[in-house]
Structure 1
Amino acid sequence: MRDIPVNLGGYKLVIVEPPAPKMREDANGAQVPVTDKAGVTQFVVALFAKLRTNPGERTQKGEEIKVTLATDPGDGFGEDVRVELVDARVSQYQIDNGAGRVTSGLSFKAMGIKHAPAPRGGGDK
């Protein structure tokens, strides 16, 4: 299944690697930007996603995720900035390297990112 809409509103998302053009290696070994079907450059951002908790609840571990962005997020999205994903989607993938090893997981995509509102009441760790 591909491009399943996902609601990450219950998670605190913090930038750990600022947005940058998504790169891949071409046949000659050179790094080239990844583009969509229309030729628009894709971006990637690394986020730390942690479930929001209420006062008195136990804090759970978080997870680092990389998200492909369909648009240039612009300036103002450096490390430690809290963000929300715009039109977030998730896809499952599975890669067989041909030597008996299979890797599978989830890939995250979004149309873009925006600044998250300030936390309310201090119960958001």
Structure 2
Amino acid sequence: MLRNIPANMQGYKLMVTEPPQPKMRENDNGMQEIATDRNGVQQFVVSLFAKRKAQPGEFAGKGEEIRVTLTADPGEGFEEGAYVHLIDATVSHWENNGRSGLSFKANGLTPAGADLSAAA
């Protein structure tokens, strides 16, 4: 199975739709608990709307909401509507109980700055 493939998201505008929060998972008892990696480090999750950056004369097309697992707390300042860049983004394919999809992961977020805020 392909895992942790580097993902170049430079051709996309990424806007926060749900601010970063601790990632939760259901334990064996059906209770929600904070998700950690294999080393016990707390994980976070952020929802982003990803839309391709259109070149002059091109149609950008539709975007899509993605959920990205963050390997560390990104800190403050990533509220709904903020444009961001992912740090060291990767994508992995998953399959479970007849379902499959892609999961995104990154080491963190940085503000995209005025370059995207004005263009939105």
TM range (shorter): over 0.9
What is the rounded CA distance, in whole Å, between the counterparts of 1:6 and 1:59 in structure 2? 19
Query: Which consecutive unaligned segments of at least 5 residues does structure 2 have?
Result: none
Structure 1 position 104, deviation (Å): 1.0
Displacement over 3 Å in runs of 4+: none
Aligned residues: 118
Q: What's the % identity of the aligned pairs?
A: 54
What is the rounded CA distance, in whole Å, between the counterparts of 2:19 and 2:8 in structure 1? 22
Q: Which residue does 2:28 correspond to in 1? A: 27
Spell out, residue by residue over 1:55-83, the C-alpha distance to the aligned partner (whole angstroms, 9 max, x if none).
32212100000000000001111100000
Q: Which residue does 1:57 correspond to in 2? A: 58
Structure 1 position 8, deviation (Å): 0.3
Q: Which residue does 2:37 correspond to in 1? A: 36
What is the rounded CA distance, in whole Å, between the counterparts of 2:88 and 2:60 in structure 1? 27
Q: Which residue does 1:108 correspond to in 2? A: 104
1:9 aligns with 2:10: yes
Spell out, residue by residue over 1:77-120, the C-alpha distance to the aligned partner (whole angstroms, 9 max, x if none).
11000000000000001112xxxxx2111100000111013227
- Say what the alpha-carbon RMSD is for the aligned residues: 1.4
Q: Which residue does 1:83 correspond to in 2? A: 84
Query: Which consecutive unaligned segments of at least 5 residues does structure 1 have?
Result: 97-101
- Matched AA of 1:77: F
- Matched AA of 1:118: A
Q: Report the TM-score, using the length of structure 2 for normalisation.
A: 0.92
What is the rounded CA distance, in whole Å, between the counterparts of 1:31 and 1:41 in structure 2? 14
- Matched AA of 2:77: G
Structure 1 position 54, deviation (Å): 2.4
